[in-house]
Amino acid sequence: MVAQATRSNCNHRLRRFRRLGPTRQAFRGPSSRSPFPERLIREIGVICGSFLLCGLTLLTAAVPPLLAQQRVKVFIAVDMEGVTGVVGPEQLGPTGFEYQRFREFMTAEALAAIEGAREAGATEILVADSHGNGQNLLIERFSPDVRIVRSWPRPLGMMQGIDSSFAAAVFIGFHSGTANPAGVRAHTFSSANLAGLTVNGQELSESGFGAAVAGHFGVPVVFISGDDMATAELRALVPDVETVVVKQALGFHSALTATPAAAQARIRERVRAAVIRRSAIAPFRVAGPVAVEITFKNYRPAEMLSYLSLFTRTASHRVRYAARDMVEATRILQFVEEYEFGLAP
Ligand SMILES: [Zn+2]
């Protein structure tokens, strides 16, 4: 409709141009005192204005396609404990007899999220493989324009790759934090080593910590899938976040689960809805400076870290440190988690 209106508008202006014959004769007339009679100047003005208007109309018609090509970048962090059907170690690591099958389900949930995001207008996707060894996703299943972050260590941990150019962040397969008494495989960053993590006095799980990193860059976390405990934890921090509960926690190693196909369909549908209404979901921002307190399961990490002036030992198993912002807080936490004497190569 815009194109038709443009054409008729231009034709109208051309008809006006053809009517200029008499004006040109008047210009040649002997009685003319000025070489540019007033009427001619007026008509030239009308013609120029008309062509300018046609040009602007054509340009306006071309703008919507240009806007449609605007970049919409979506960041997707994928963990595994919150993937459909996962209840224990047999699904979670290379030695588990079900691991290879559950890598398929994990990958399929990430792909469902990508499809939903694309249906909502996403033009660029970055996926962070954020579970275990960071090498779980079957990368050959992704389309060539998707970029994937793999393995550790990496400065921003589970959120590696996020920056302020992203429009939204999506969490797939997330689990609840170590302070949650009811979630499937509830832990924070390390089930073997950490018993608690607070940021500015507030206990944060991996989803909350990740949301605060995204919030540092002004990016809202718009979606999370996992068990009912994991989704409730993030909703407490980000009330408008879209959630898909793929299983109900019955215990640390037990759940009432949906089937992979049913969960993937829901994830696709709700990620689409979440990315569409991303501007209505506020980023979770933690104001700096950031005070982080880590409680270890063992005694000696707290003892050794207290040798460094950056850390204050606040209890037998606990240290505190201060960081400028969530990026620095994450980098220090990555160091605490990953450093070991004799690291090689
Ligand atoms: Zn995790």
CATH of the domain at 178: 3.40.50.10780
CB 266 within 8 Å of CB 226 = no
Ligand 1 centre from 190 Cα, in Å?
8
Ligand 1 centre from 165 Cα, in Å?
25
202 belongs to a structural domain: yes
341 belongs to a structural domain: no
Strand order in the sheet with 202-203: 202-203, 194-199, 290-296, 318-323, 311-315
303 belongs to a structural domain: no
Ligand 1 centre from 307 Cα, in Å?
29
Vertex 85: Cα angle to 82 and 90 (nearest 5): 90
Ligand 1 centre from 133 Cα, in Å?
11
Ligand 1 centre from 6 Cα, in Å?
56
- Exposed/middle/buried for residue 265 (C-beta within 10 Å: 0-12, 13-18, 19+): middle
pLDDT at position 52 is: 58
Do 138 and 61 share a domain, yes or no? no
265 belongs to a structural domain: yes
Q: What one-character-per-residue DSSP string does 134-187 give?
A: S--S-GGGS-TT-EEE-SS--TTGGGTT--TTEEEEEEEEE---TT-SSSTT--
Ligand 1 centre from 228 Cα, in Å?
15
Do 173 and 253 share a domain, yes or no? yes
Residue 226 belongs to domain spanning: 73-286
Ligand 1 centre from 298 Cα, in Å?
20
Do 103 and 249 share a domain, yes or no? yes
- Looking at 286, 304, 329, the residue that finishes a domain is 286
129 belongs to a structural domain: yes
Ligand 1 centre from 131 Cα, in Å?
6
Which residues, in sequence order, are bridge partners of residue 125? Answer: 74
Ligand 1 centre from 42 Cα, in Å?
73
Ligand 1 centre from 43 Cα, in Å?
73
Do 48 and 131 share a domain, yes or no? no
Alpha helices in the chain (DSSP H): 2-18, 21-28, 38-68, 89-92, 99-119, 206-216, 228-237, 260-276, 300-305, 326-338
CB 263 within 8 Å of CB 244 = yes
Do 126 and 97 share a domain, yes or no? yes
The neighbour count for residue 48, using CB atoms within 10 Å, is: 10
* DSSP 3-state of 296: strand
Ligand 1 centre from 25 Cα, in Å?
85
The neighbour count for residue 153, using CB atoms within 10 Å, is: 13
Do 63 and 77 share a domain, yes or no? no
301 belongs to a structural domain: no
- Looking at 68, 90, 108, the residue that finishes a domain is 68
Ligand 1 centre from 188 Cα, in Å?
7
Do 94 and 58 share a domain, yes or no? no
- Looking at 286, 307, 322, the residue that finishes a domain is 286
CB 286 within 8 Å of CB 212 = yes
Q: What is the pLDDT along the chain (345 residues), one digit of tens a residue?
A: 433 433 344 344 434 444 444 444 434 444 445 555 666 556 666 665 566 555 555 555 555 555 556 999 999 999 999 999 999 999 999 999 999 999 999 999 999 999 999 999 999 999 999 999 999 999 999 999 999 999 999 999 999 999 999 999 999 999 999 999 999 999 999 988 999 999 999 999 999 999 999 999 999 999 999 999 999 999 999 999 999 999 999 999 999 999 999 999 999 999 999 999 999 999 999 999 999 999 999 999 999 999 999 999 999 999 999 999 999 999 999 999 999 999 999
Do 37 and 168 share a domain, yes or no? no
Ligand 1 centre from 254 Cα, in Å?
17
Ligand 1 centre from 280 Cα, in Å?
27
Do 103 and 207 share a domain, yes or no? yes
Nearest to 244 by CA among 219, 215, 208, 274: 274
Do 200 and 257 share a domain, yes or no? yes
Nearest to 132 by CA among 177, 162, 91: 91
Ligand 1 centre from 303 Cα, in Å?
26
The neighbour count for residue 250, using CB atoms within 10 Å, is: 14
Ligand 1 centre from 67 Cα, in Å?
37
Ligand 1 centre from 1 Cα, in Å?
52
Do 89 and 237 share a domain, yes or no? yes
Report the C-alpha gap between 131 and 187 in whole angstroms.
Answer: 12
Do 124 and 13 share a domain, yes or no? no
Ligand 1 centre from 248 Cα, in Å?
17
pLDDT at position 22 is: 42
Ligand 1 centre from 53 Cα, in Å?
58
302 belongs to a structural domain: no
pTM: 0.81
Ligand 1 centre from 207 Cα, in Å?
9
Report the C-alpha gap between 184 and 202 in whole angstroms.
Answer: 22
40 belongs to a structural domain: yes
Count of domains forming the chain: 2
